[in-house]
Chain A
């Protein structure tokens, strides 16, 4: 292959992306060593004070821990449910086309606007859910003011919004699977369950990994549902790093400290995702067809 061609393909995109993000990224790194806040504008130099403060910030690390289970839990549920409905929509149910459209709809809605609708569903006095509960004679649930239910409420919103993402990717994957392995399994007389475990699932592994990684990245930024429904409350029971960073950066206008928190978040996220990626790669390799 002639020289130069590979570059023609990669470089325009790479350069454009770098051109857009290089300044913000360098700026963010630089600003973490300054004290830019509401009354101190500009890039002075205060050394590692922000980083030291972050190390002591229990609220930040608490939100990180919370994020771990919130993101892994929601993505796991989304994956399981998304896979299940993708299998149904793949074959074997009537009116597939209708259900495919229906099940895609949540992803098409704007999360920040749907969060307002969800708030009007979960809100305890005039919300739809407690309205239904009271109609069937049950006691209202403190959806937003008790730590347990509040976390459940946020999980429900995230599952509703993003399961379709998994659904679509997995369904497209299923539709593109080659037919031969399934025929072979049928000839062997394998049960439906065995076919799934030995044929479908392993063949779906690469796609699953990609979808899970992208969802993990986006789920880790979980913000709209938290901010709109609970503001991180009760107390700090639902506060995620994105919500906490939002408060520091925009409400308190601590540009420098907020950037420090975000940069640490970026580093940890890249590390975690790399590890997860490696684990997935190892898990999926020796199997296959």
Chain B
């Protein structure tokens, strides 16, 4: 009796409600439970206590905004996503997966693994045709290994109102392979110098430096100066030093397997990247490895010297320890990725507003592999910043649901989400789009100090303009090459071999790798890197 009543009631009510919804309600919610209106405020607050203090922003007008995404219906469909551990990339991936599910009714399964496992799990899936994933995350330097397994990113994403339309030109190039965009650039990284202003902008410290060395203290322009500063201030007590903490010269990544190759490239690049020599930084035209040329040896010699001015335990630091150590105020100088920078700008940081950014140091001489001589650079210093790899993602070519996968990534990186993600330091999303490079955002919304922000943004713009840059060895087998190089560097750092001898071994190993992977394969892939190095568009 009762059910009958309900049924008849529904029979009347439903068509009316449906008709009304068409006429009255513009909010869209095709598949999911979440209804959105254009420009409606975007807030993460509903997604857990950890987002309680995150700002809110208006939904964007881009193609993958919350509103546009809510119009899509993926009910009954599933995406399989392989991403990094929480929080770096893992946190935003999971968060945006949840939001995407609510908006579209689809299901997004997220698997979190460590950085090393990201690489192995992907390769295993591809090489055995298992097709385990639709969306994957990776380090962009692995493009040489992976590009053939990835689907091309559609123009609708990279142009017009797409999420990646405003990516800076440098990074647009970086995410391409043979002219096609293969990586979905959710992030853009570079290495830069971080220095403590309570030394570099402090009169007493300057006087101390002058009394010790007879020179004026200024932000290091070369790695030689960097080491000298590290040496001079190792054990010094700066004005703003957190209580009870010893002060060392430099915090660097020194552990093999802990992304140390990035730090090494930073130190080597200005000695070995000669703006007047075209056609290859890593290899010469005949694919002879340059990893043991005098430029590399000079960089490694500096690196070995610097181990004397590191904090306790500093000879076994991976990226994680580097961030932690510099972030708590261990040392005067540090370099590599943005993370330590974000860490020292956090509200709770003991060295907040005591850190500034600058381009990576250069070198007073640069090796010329053609003439086999040291050149003296124009202006006295050769700068060659390493445009280090950052997080990227991709949709696999074998995925049966590419459209949904791209919609997910596009939503992941839409204007509103990108803006909010930038404010959450541990998510690992860094400035990459033209609109990110205004100091207003960082000063007002993040409450960072303006001088610091300006030094940071200036550094990044400097890299966009600089034409003498070093890029990752984006060829098949890059991990192989990098671990061989790291192993050699680790030996030299541990004093088990001289820099020359260690790098000679690495060169031998590199030849073996090239032979193993196939010289034609590596050479043709390396042309893509040369195009970046020599600014060939």
Contact = CB atoms under 8 A, between A and B. Distances in A.
Check A-B contact in the complex, CB < 8 A.
yes
Interface of A: 35-41, 53, 59, 123-127, 130, 140, 142, 144-145, 147, 230-237, 247, 250-254
Contact of B494 (A126, A130, A147, A252): A147
Nearest to B129: A41
Interface in B54-101: none
A42 to B, nearest CB: 8
Interface string B444-488: 000000000000000000000000000000001101100100010
Contacts of B311: 125
Nearest to A139: B312
B313 A234 contact: no
A237 B516 CA distance: 27
B312 A234 contact: no
Closest 9 CB pairs of A and B: A124-B313, A235-B494, A234-B494, A39-B476, A145-B315, A125-B313, A235-B496, A231-B257, A252-B480
Interface of B: 116, 119-120, 123, 127, 145, 255-258, 311-316, 321, 324-325, 330, 476-477, 479-480, 483, 487, 490-491, 493-497, 512, 516-518, 521
8 contacts: A37-B516, A39-B518, A125-B311, A125-B325, A233-B255, A236-B487, A250-B120, A253-B479
A253 B120 CA distance: 7
Given A37-B477, A38-B479, A235-B491, A144 B517 contact: no
A253 B312 contact: no
Contacts of B517: 37-40
Nearest to B121: A250
A125 B330 contact: yes
A258 to B, nearest CB: 11
A127 B324 CA distance: 13
A36 B255 CA distance: 28
Contact of B476 (A38, A124, A125): A38
B518 A40 contact: yes
Given A39-B145, A125-B311, A237 B494 contact: yes
B313 A144 contact: yes
A228 to B, nearest CB: 11
A251 B518 contact: no
Contacts of A230: 316
Given A231-B258, A235-B491, A252-B480, 10 more contacts: A38-B145, A39-B476, A124-B316, A125-B321, A125-B330, A144-B316, A145-B313, A232-B257, A247-B483, A252-B479
B480 A232 contact: no
A230 B477 CA distance: 24
A232 B260 CA distance: 14
A207 B535 CA distance: 70
A191 B256 CA distance: 55
A40 B123 CA distance: 11
Nearest to A229: B316
Nearest to A46: B516
B316 A251 contact: no
A124 B312 contact: yes
Contacts of B476: 38-39
Contacts of B516: 35, 37, 254
Nearest to B489: A235
B521 A250 contact: no
A230 to B, nearest CB: 7
Given A38-B123, A123-B313, A253-B120, A233 B480 contact: no
Contacts of A236: 487, 490-491, 496
A36 B516 CA distance: 9
A251 B139 CA distance: 14
Contacts of B480: 37-38, 252-254
B379 to A, nearest CB: 38
Nearest to A119: B316
Nearest to A58: B505
Contacts of A254: 480, 516
Contacts of A59: 487
B331 to A, nearest CB: 11
Given A231-B255, A233-B256, A251 B494 contact: no
B316 A234 contact: yes
Task: Give the one of A53, A232, A233, A234 with max B CB within 10 A.
Answer: A233
Nearest to A127: B313
Nearest to A56: B512
A53 B512 CA distance: 10
A42 B491 CA distance: 34
A252 B483 contact: yes
Contacts of A251: 116, 119-120, 257, 479, 483
A288 to B, nearest CB: 49
A37 B258 CA distance: 22
Given A38-B477, A231-B255, A250-B120, A125 B312 contact: yes
